[in-house]
Each structure stands twice: as structure tokens, then as C-alpha cells.
Structure 1
Amino acid sequence: METEKRPGTDEVINELLVKLFKNIMEIEERCLITPEFKDISVNDMHIIEAVGKEEPKSMSTVAKLLSITTGTLTKLMDALSEKGYVDRERGKKDKRIVFVSLTEKGRRAYARHENFHRTMIEHMKDGLSENETTVLVYALAKLNDYFNRIYKA
């Protein structure tokens, strides 16, 4: 009688991670890019998230949060500004500094993105004990640390 070879833990982890990364990108796009927000991409949603809904941020601060140059961000902000998601304003003290903030439309997009992530986290934690949640946080932090190390290398 032949026994079926079951995948080992490493293979299962690898398969789950590959599916997870693929699904997050595809599902996030399907859930976020609704008829109201059909004129932007998921990448634009992440820029909107970096701008945030609080006080205006300088372009250089947003660029650092996104790990892109201010030149690249300027082109992206041009498009988001034309579509009505962000406002730009020169600094009052130093006119060279440009501050960005979300418009009402940008705030709605931000809320949609925030709700998607909140729902995903709630579902992930549903049914987990406090100890299991702690282990999950630890495992995700280790994965994040690994990506940060190889990104900086």
C-alpha cells in the first residue's frame, strides 16, 4: 500500500505565503476600486493612505513613507490632484515646501482603504486566542523584518 506524501511545514508555509501575496494584491484591488474610485489604482490608494486624514504633510514626508523620490511622488500627486483626491499648498514660512492633504473625495477613498484593512484584520483574529494572536504578530513581525533586511541589502 502506497502512502501519500504530505507536504512538510516549509512547503505549506511557502504555498500559503505565495497565495497570500497574490490574493492580497488581487482582492485589495477588487474591493477598493469601486465605481466611485475607478479612476485610481491600488497604488494610488496607498499614496492616499500615506497622506493620511490628519494635518497636511510635506511632500518629502510622504515620499519617505512610500520609499520613493519626491520627483516620482510629484508626478503621482499631479494625477491625484487632477482627479480631485488631494490638495497641494505651498508652505507659508518656506515657499519651497509643498504640503499635501486629502480632499473630501480623498477622505472617502482613505476610509474605504482603512475599512478594507480593518475587516481583514478582524477576520484574521476571529477565533484566535490571545496567545495565538501574539504568535501571529510575532510571525508577521519576523517576516517584515526579513523583508526590511533584504530590501536594505
Structure 2
Amino acid sequence: MELPELFQMLIKQTVQLKHEEMKKHDFSDVNFSLLQYILNIGEFDNLTFSDLAEKMNITKPAVTASIQKLIEKGLVTKQQSLEDKRIFYLSLTEKGQEVFKVSKIANSKLEEMIRRKLSRDEVEQLRFLLAKVFT
């Protein structure tokens, strides 16, 4: 099997596991796209809209639209800067933090699946190679 097909299978499996976990924990209204915002905000708390746009490599208007959806769902809050009223900082609500944790559970399940099928040496080799490619 060629690399593009394997990457596609990995992405599909990751999305499926995250979808299943979200559904299991009654977060089925959080799609994979919105989840990416939650993961970035959870990983780098107090990001601005511009910071988030840069990290996700998307436009600020796209961030604004998606953040508004997340605010309406009660997953994200924005707080205005005291120094510069044009700047807003984003953070996860308690519910948003739960979604973040559920996503981490899905990641753990994917890791478990990989560890069941590979030897310790193969897992270490996979980790080494992926780190080499992506860092």
C-alpha cells in the first residue's frame, strides 16, 4: 500500500475514533472541524483570535465564525484584554475542557490499537520516524 493511502487510513481511523468518543459522551454536536479549535485552545490557553488563526493556518474571519459557534455551544469563552480592547483571549469552558479530555481518550485508543498490532521496537521505530518527518 502506498503512503498516501496509509495516511488516509490513519486520518479516517482518527476521525472515526474521535467521532465515536464524542457521541459516547454526548458531544455529537462537536464535529471534527470544531474539535480542532478546541484542541488548539486547550493546548495553548489564552490564545487570541490572531494566534489561533496562525496556529491553524486559516484566516481570522474563519476563526471568528467558528469561535462564535463554540461560544454558542458553551464550549469556549472570550475575554477582552484590559490593555488593548481590540484583543480577546480565548479559553475553554468547563464543558470545553470535557470535550478536550474526550478527544485525548480517543487519541489513547488509537495508540492502544497501534501498540496491540506492533512490537515495542516497531512502536519505537514508528515514533522515531514520525518525529523525524514532522519535527
Q: Bigger radius of gyration, 1 or 2?
A: 1
Residue 69 of structure 2: which of 65, 79, 102 is its match? 79
* Structure 1 gap ranges (5+): 1-10, 146-153
Give aligned pairs, total: 134
Q: For 1:13 and 1:141, how far apart are their aligned partners in 2? A: 16
2:17 and 2:70 mapped to 1: Cα distance? 22
Deviations 1:1-29 (A, max 9, x none): xxxxxxxxxx3656544433333333332
Secondary structure of 1:92's aligned partner: coil
Moved more, 14-23 or 68-77: 14-23
Pairwise CA distance, 1:119 = 2.6
* Larger RCO of the pair (alpha carbons < 8 Å, separation 6+): 2
Q: How does the TM-score come out when normalised to structure 1?
A: 0.73
Partner of 1:37, secondary structure, is: coil
One-letter amino acid matched to 2:81: G
Question: How far off its partner does 1:56 sit?
Answer: 1.8
Query: What is the match of residue 31 of structure 2?
Result: 41
Give the match for residue 21 of structure 1. 11
Q: Where does residue 111 of structure 2 map in the other structure? A: 121
Mind listing any 5+ residue stretches in structure 2 that lack a counterpart? none
Percent of aligned positions that are identical: 25
What is the RMSD of the two structures over their aligned residues, measured on CA atoms?
Answer: 2.4
* Contact 2:21–2:105 (CA under 8 A) maintained in structure 1: no
TM score, norm. by length of structure 2 = 0.81
Q: Moved runs in structure 1, 4+ residues, more than 6 A?
A: none
Task: Confirm whether residue 97 of structure 1 aligns to residue 87 of structure 2.
Answer: yes
